[in-house]
């Protein structure tokens, strides 16, 4: 039994580490401090983070691993992904608003 717990613990730890992408607004610079190039760069990063979170929703490899080894992890993964997407969408809206206020080119 002890021999079985180590591999299962390792698989669970690895799958937990590969959950929702990390995004925190606390470390983001205020929108008013960004110039047009920085806004464009951050919008690209946010689009990448959102795409990664979207790919890890639903029937993903992470959720399949959670289903096999730790089924409550599916719920946590879905909630984490939803939170990341909400935060990214909020920040994106702020940046788009600032982009138009500063008369930055759209692309």
Which pLDDT belongs to residue 98? 92
Residue 19: DSSP 8-state: S
Question: 80: buried, middle or exposed (CB in 10 Å: 19+, 13-18, 0-12)?
Answer: middle
What is the token pair recorded at 14? Answer: 């690895």
Which pLDDT belongs to residue 36? 93
Which pLDDT belongs to residue 60? 76
Which pLDDT belongs to residue 75? 83
Blockwise average pLDDT, block size 10, the chain, 107 residues = 62 55 71 91 93 83 77 81 92 94 81
Which pLDDT belongs to residue 65? 76
Residue 76 makes CB contacts below 8 A (sequence gap 6+) with 19
What burial letters (b/e) apply to 10-21, b meaning 16+ CB within 10 Å?
eebeebbeebbb
């Amino acid at each position: 039994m002890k021999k079985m717990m180590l591999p299962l613990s390792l698989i669970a730890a690895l799958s937990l580490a590969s959950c929702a992408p990390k995004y925190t607004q606390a470390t983001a610079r205020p929108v008013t401090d960004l110039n047009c190039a920085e806004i464009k760069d951050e919008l690209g990063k946010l689009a990448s983070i959102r795409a990664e979170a979207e790919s890890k929703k639903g029937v993903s490899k992470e959720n399949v691993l959670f289903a096999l080894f730790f089924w409550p992890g599916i719920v946590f993964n879905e909630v984490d992904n939803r939170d990341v997407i909400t935060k990214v969408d909020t920040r994106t809206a702020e940046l788009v608003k600032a982009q138009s206020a500063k008369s930055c080119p759209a692309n």
